[in-house]
């Protein structure tokens, strides 16, 4: 039986009279991608902040990488990395300089070699010498995730990593997350995008008003609804199809 990278039991958190988490239980297996799905205000970011030791729970227990988030916060911080909703990239530095800076702050040997390996791993080698403020949204996000991997954390928290990105940039980030999982990193991903959870996660939990409504694989969640049935409908052509048909016809003539 595999060991849980994250184990949460009865976690509660309120801000004054507002209950944000109302007794959350979840378990994330090592080396898996776990998606926490919920709308704004569901409590996703609060849960991540507690698990990453940035906030203390009012009640309940949580362990990350086998360490208690309250009693061994320093041990948890040594085993994790957190990427928030906005890229923590210094735009005045090049991509490589951002990576070297973090490697030096973590007191790693050969920070330049660490930076070069991550640039290659995230397909940023050609852009490595450019200032980060010239990067596209997807490139900045990939650089941000690369920075979070310096020091080989066992668990990575990605709090809504594709918020504000266009569809192409979102696909870039998805590929980066898929590579993380392939390398054995445990990923807890929060998102509002159903397609994102469906595409990336081994298991999915739906958090609503501070409580987990359901948790399981995609197949488990689909089984909660009646089986799909076939309907025949009249489909109108899309504007794109009209445009392509007309322009291709004009070109052919």
* Gyration radius of the chain's alpha carbons: 21
For the residues 21-46, what does the mean pLDDT come to?
A: 92
When the candidates are 3.40.50.300, 3.40.50.2300, 3.30.1300.10, 3.40.50.10420, the CATH number that belongs to 4-252 is 3.40.50.300
pLDDT 10s digits, 162-188: 887 788 878 888 888 888 888 888 999
Tell me which residue of 215, 251, 208, 201 sits closest to 33, measured CA to CA.
201
Please state the φ and ψ torsions of residue 144, each to the nearest 5 degrees. -60, -45
Cβ atoms of 142 and 173 within 8 Å: the answer is: yes
Q: What's the per-residue H, E or C state across the chain? A: CCCEEEEEEEEEEEECCEEEEEEEEEEEECCCEEEEECCCCCCHHHHHHHHCCCCCCCEEEEEECCEECCCCHHHHHHHEEEECCCCCCCCCCEHHHHHHHHHHHCCCCCHHHHHHHHHHHCCCCCCCCCEHHHCCHHHHHHHHHHHHCCCCCCEEEEECCCCCCCHHHHHHHHHHHHHHHHCCCEEEEEECCHHHHHHHCCEEEEEECCEEEEEECHHHHHCCCCCCCCCCCCCCCCHHHHHHHHHHHHHHC
Q: What is the pLDDT of residue 3?
A: 75
Q: What is the pLDDT of residue 235?
A: 75
91-95, 99-103, 173-177: least confident range:
173-177
**pTM, entire model:** 0.81
pLDDT 10s digits, 202-251: 999 999 889 999 899 988 888 887 776 667 777 777 766 766 676 665 55
Burial class (CB in 10 A: 0-12, 13-18, 19+), 232: exposed
Enumerate the domain spans of the chain: 4-252
**Top mean-pLDDT range of 111-115, 150-154, 228-232:** 111-115
The yes-or-no verdict on residue 253 having pLDDT over 70 is no
């Amino acid at each position: 039986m595999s060991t849980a990278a994250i184990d949460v039991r009865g976690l509660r958190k309120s801000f004054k009279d507002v209950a944000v988490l109302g007794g959350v239980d979840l378990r994330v297996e090592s080396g898996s991608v776990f998606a926490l799905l919920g709308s704004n205000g569901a409590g996703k970011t609060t849960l991540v902040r507690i698990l990453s030791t940035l906030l203390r729970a009012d009640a309940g227990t949580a362990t990350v990488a086998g360490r208690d988030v309250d009693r061994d916060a320093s041990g948890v911080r040594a085993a994790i990395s957190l990427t928030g909703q906005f890229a923590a990239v210094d735009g005045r530095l090049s991509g490589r300089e951002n990576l070297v800076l973090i490697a030096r702050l973590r007191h790693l040997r050969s920070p330049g070699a660490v930076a070069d390996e991550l640039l290659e791993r995230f397909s940023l080698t050609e852009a490595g010498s450019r200032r980060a403020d010239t990067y596209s949204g997807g490139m900045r996000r990939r650089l941000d995730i690369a920075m979070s991997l310096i020091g080989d954390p066992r668990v990575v928290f990605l709090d809504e990593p594709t918020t504000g990105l266009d569809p192409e940039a979102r696909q870039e980030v998805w590929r980066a997350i898929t590579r993380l999982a392939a390398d054995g990193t445990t990923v807890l991903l929060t998102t509002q995008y159903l397609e994102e959870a469906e595409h990336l996660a081994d298991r999915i939990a739906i958090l609503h008003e501070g409580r987990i409504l359901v948790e399981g694989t995609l197949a488990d969640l689909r089984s909660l609804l009646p089986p799909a049935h076939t309907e025949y409908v009249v489909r109108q052509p899309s504007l794109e199809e009209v445009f392509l048909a007309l322009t291709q016809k004009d070109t052919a003539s």
